[in-house]
């Protein structure tokens, strides 16, 4: 079940809870990312959505994207906070959609 209190990024604007929208790739966007730990990315013309989470790893904090499809959770490394640009988010979304397509093809061929 999706979380309803998660900020949503769509149409190149982030919509944080109880705050005005923030344009992607601006100073305000990167400032918001420094204090945030998760948000949802809904690309235009897609029914899929990514959940992005900032996770602590050995040498600092890194962002990861997650996409659930047919009970399978796909994930991809996004990068550090300065790497979270509109272009990078689109690249990660495309990469995860390729994983979903591969999973579907494997299911059609009888593999798991």
Name the residue range of residue 49's domain: 8-108
Question: What is the spatial distance between Cα 13 and Cα 49, in angstroms, rounded to a whole number?
Answer: 15
- Asked if the structure places residue 78 within a domain, the reply is yes
Is 57 a domain residue? yes
Q: Quick one: pLDDT at residue 106? A: 76
The pLDDT tens digits for 8-26 are 999 999 999 889 999 999 9
Residue 72 lies in a domain: yes
What is the spatial distance between Cα 17 and Cα 88, in angstroms, rounded to a whole number? 24
pTM: 0.87
Domain-embedded: residue 3 = no
H/E stretch holding 107 reads: helix 86-108
Phi, psi of 95 (to 5 degrees): -60, -45
Mean pLDDT along residues 2-10 = 81
Summarised one tens digit per residue, pLDDT across range 27-41 is 999 999 999 999 999
**Residue 1, pLDDT score:** 40
In a domain, 2, yes or no: no
Query: With contact defined as beta carbons under 8 Å apart, do 24 and 85 qualify?
Result: yes
CA 39 to chain centre: 7
Number of structural domains found in the chain: 1
List residues bridging with 55 in a β-sheet: 62
Q: What kind and span of H or E run contains 48?
A: none
């Amino acid at each position: 079940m999706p979380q309803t209190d998660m900020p949503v990024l769509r149409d190149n604007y982030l919509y944080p809870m109880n705050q005005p929208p923030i344009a992607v790739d601006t100073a305000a966007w990167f400032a918001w990312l420094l204090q945030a730990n998760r948000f949802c990315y809904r690309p235009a013309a897609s029914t899929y959505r990514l959940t992005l989470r900032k996770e602590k790893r050995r040498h600092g904090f890194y962002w990861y994207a997650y996409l659930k499809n047919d009970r399978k959770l796909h994930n991809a490394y996004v990068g550090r906070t300065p790497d979270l640009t509109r272009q990078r988010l689109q690249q990660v979304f495309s990469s995860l959609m390729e994983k979903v397509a591969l999973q579907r093809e494997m299911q059609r061929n009888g593999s798991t």
